[in-house]
Amino acid sequence: VLIQGTTLSIVAKWLNVALPEKAKKITEIDKLILELPKSSLQEFEVLPNFHAVNKRIVDLNFPKSAFIVMIKRNGEYIRPGGSTELEAKDILMVLADSQDDFTKVNDCIYSSNNK
């Protein structure tokens, strides 16, 4: 299957049955995918002295374009919700559109309790 799948386009060109790139129709889904912002994933560790410890996600004022997609806690993965409380040593997997969003997430999580 691997060889068949990777050689399919080559064989189609040899047999003159492949569509030229210019003739390919762009569907609505293709347009949507091209217009979507390119997101990145970063990990953030919550250390014991950070502001986010024992706080609910909803109370941290995360940027609207950043999402915690998963939390790794004690070797297990948790799907978070707004009422999920963060604990020391949690590792947050955050999806965001820009570096500026990650900086804001950093500010929300890492602000020291001493501030």
In-domain check, residue 115: no
Report the distance separating Cα 75 and Cα 97, nearest Å.
Answer: 27
Q: Say if residue 67 is in the same domain as residue 94.
A: yes
Say yes or no to pLDDT of 10 above 90. Answer: no
Say yes or no to pLDDT of 20 above 80. Answer: no
Say yes or no to pLDDT of 40 above 70. Answer: yes
- Give me the number of domains the chain comprises: 2
Segment 94-111 mean pLDDT = 89
Domain span at residue 14 reads: 2-35
Q: Give the single-character DSSP code of 79.
A: -
pTM of the model: 0.62
Using CA atoms, how far residue 14 sits from 9, 19, 59, in Å, is 9, 12, 60
Are the beta carbons of 41 and 95 closer than 8 angstroms? yes
Confidence at 21, pLDDT banded by 50, 70, 90:
low
More confident residue, 14 or 41: 41
Q: Say if residue 10 is in the same domain as residue 28.
A: yes
In-domain check, residue 16: yes
